[in-house]
Amino acid sequence: MTITIEQPHLGAVAEKKVAGGDPAELVLDGGFVVPDSNAFGDTFRNYDAESERKKTVEEFYRTNHINQTYDFVRRMREEYGRLEKTEMGVWECIELLNEFIDDSDPDLEMPQIEHLLQTAEAIRKDYPDQDWLHLTGLIHDLGKVLLHPSFGQLPQWAVVGDTFPVGCAFDECNVHFKYFKENPDYRNPKLSTKFGAYSEGCGLDNVLMSWGHDDYMYLVAKENKIALPSAGLFIIRYHSFYPLHKHGAYTHLMNDEDKENLKWLHVFNKYDLYSKSNVRIDVEKVKPYYMSLIDKVCLI
């Protein structure tokens, strides 16, 4: 699978200064209006709100935080980095996601294909000329096919959820941080310091992230030489890295390219998070556009 797409330029999107804030701070804003509440009537990413999802979500993070160790991630990257499970087209993979609901998500209880299309369509509306970003929105969660038997049928704790570096100290801003205390790495003196296995400014490409759909899809994109711009690959690998792009944690590991790409991730994240709703996308209506985009940039 090969993709060729024009490199993005930050100047191509609307820029404005933050009112009352740092005059040097750049805001990239396509006009998307953030809704007041999620599908359950609560604020987005509220992990303490009483809802039908609360118990499921907390149990997910308990299991995730205990089991996502440095050694586990290395094993998963070695096994799945070979890309030997199966071969499948992009839209075929998208349709597989009809079968799955993300146990880590407190904001939505709908099949994942809905989320992909909601994200992509919201981006397309505000950035009609940035087709690389439409495509990124469409495929950013495609790695969740790891839940399917064809791709190994991994448990949800090894596929979805917020991501974080392994091999260094777990930052307290991570959701349900308390459960990390049961992770073997939490007590490992070599892996529990600020830098752990890494060095300052080493670049996120050199950091092992908790294993899941983000890292898997990133490996797929690289191995298949998908020529998305650097920002697109960055979005795919780090869109669930909320400790970084929401709380500013782990910035000591970033290099200059990471910092530039983070601007695009902030643009993307708004659509990834706040486009979630119970309003269904007419799949057959939008499918021709996305198929034409896939045909344009993918040789599959």
Q: Is 245 annotated as a binding residue?
A: no
The response to whether 104 counts as a known ligand-binding position is yes
102 assigned ligand-binding residue: yes
263 is an annotated ligand-binding site residue: no
Is 65 flagged in the annotation as binding?
no
Is 9 annotated as a binding-site member?
no
Taking every pair of Cα atoms in the chain, the longest distance, rounded to a whole number of angstroms, is 55
Residue 22 marked in a binding site: no
The answer to whether 143 and 216 are in contact (CB under 8 A) is: yes
Tell whether 161 is in a known binding site.
yes
According to the annotation, is 185 in a ligand binding site?
A: no
Is 36 marked as binding a ligand? Answer: no
**Would you say 295 is a known binding-site residue?**
no
Q: Is 277 annotated as a binding residue?
A: no
Q: Binding site: residue ranges?
A: 45, 102-104, 115, 140-141, 144, 161-162, 213, 239-240, 272
What residues form the annotated binding site for substrate? Answer: 45, 102-104, 144, 161-162, 239-240
Return binding residues for Fe cation: 115, 140-141, 213, 239, 272
